[in-house]
Amino acid sequence: MPPSEFTLFDQPPAAPDWNGLPVTLAVRQGATMTQTPAGSMILAFQNSSPMNNAGKLALTSGGGQPQFLLAPALALQPTILISNWQANNLNVTNISANNNTPIWIAAYGPGMGALPVTLPTTGEPIPLPVNGTLQAITEPQYMQLGFQANSANLCLFAIIGGPPDTSNNNAYAIALNSQYGDTGPGHTTPAPAGYYATTGGNSYSFDFNWGTSILFVAFFGSGSIVNQPPRLMTAPPTISLEAL
């Protein structure tokens, strides 16, 4: 069985007891989360080098083989990976080839990282900056989560909440102003890998009935889901939540 931590390294860990808060890893530095949630979690990362240096992360969990994540050079927005590491540990290490390639990482989910802003359930639109988060307590009836882009730029969101599906996932990635057009539930074209839905327009509605539970929303600008190039984000979008 391979080791549970991917270490080649001569530098001390940047975050030996990482709680998901943003941290920048130098080459050969790592961050260790001793126990991930038992549900879905979002890992975001971004190459911080001012040079044209391709970045690379090694990710391990439990006793599994390393997963390698490419961090594009000159990135302006984060790349995200959504997964359920099933309460195992998580180790993220910067293994970039060029020593001048720091990589910023952060983890997102209820109870992790920075405190989210409260999302009201009255339908009031709330602006959300890149890497910002919102959280609400849903009502025991059908509700509608509304996304509105206030520019023509790609807008990438991730939602966590509700019961897990058959793959033990309870997170949803949704993109507005997407190059993929209208995909996912309600459309003939399935969503691209890693997404729940995309739309070519600047608004999207997500209807659900999860009873009284926590709803968590994160915004990643015109970022990407692993292996898709990020773009610059300008005007922040708004989010609203109301009972139906």
What is the chain's pLDDT, residue by residue, as a tens digit (244 residues)?
A: 333 444 444 556 677 789 999 999 999 999 999 999 999 999 999 999 999 999 999 999 988 889 999 999 998 999 999 999 999 999 999 999 999 999 999 999 999 988 999 999 999 999 999 999 999 999 999 999 999 999 999 999 999 999 988 788 999 999 999 999 999 999 999 999 899 999 999 999 999 999 999 999 999 999 998 854 445 455 778 888 988 7
* H or E element at residue 241: strand 238-243
- What are the strands of the beta sheet with 143-148, ordered from one edge? 126-127, 238-243, 143-148, 203-208
Residue of 159, 158, 133, 130 lying closest to 222 (CA atoms): 130
Pick from 108, 130, 146: which residue ends a domain? 108
CB 198 within 8 A of CB 173: no
- Residue 78 has a CB neighbour count (10 Å cut-off) of 24
Q: Which two tokens stand for residue 90?
A: 């998580």
Pick from 91, 108, 125: which residue ends a domain? 108
Residue 86's domain comprises 23-108
Domain membership of residue 4 (yes or no) is no
Mark whether 92 and 175 lie in a shared domain. Answer: no
Tally of domains within the chain:
2
- Residue 193 has a CB neighbour count (10 Å cut-off) of 9
The CATH number given to whatever domain includes residue 72 is: 2.60.120.340
Q: Which two tokens stand for residue 24?
A: 């920048």
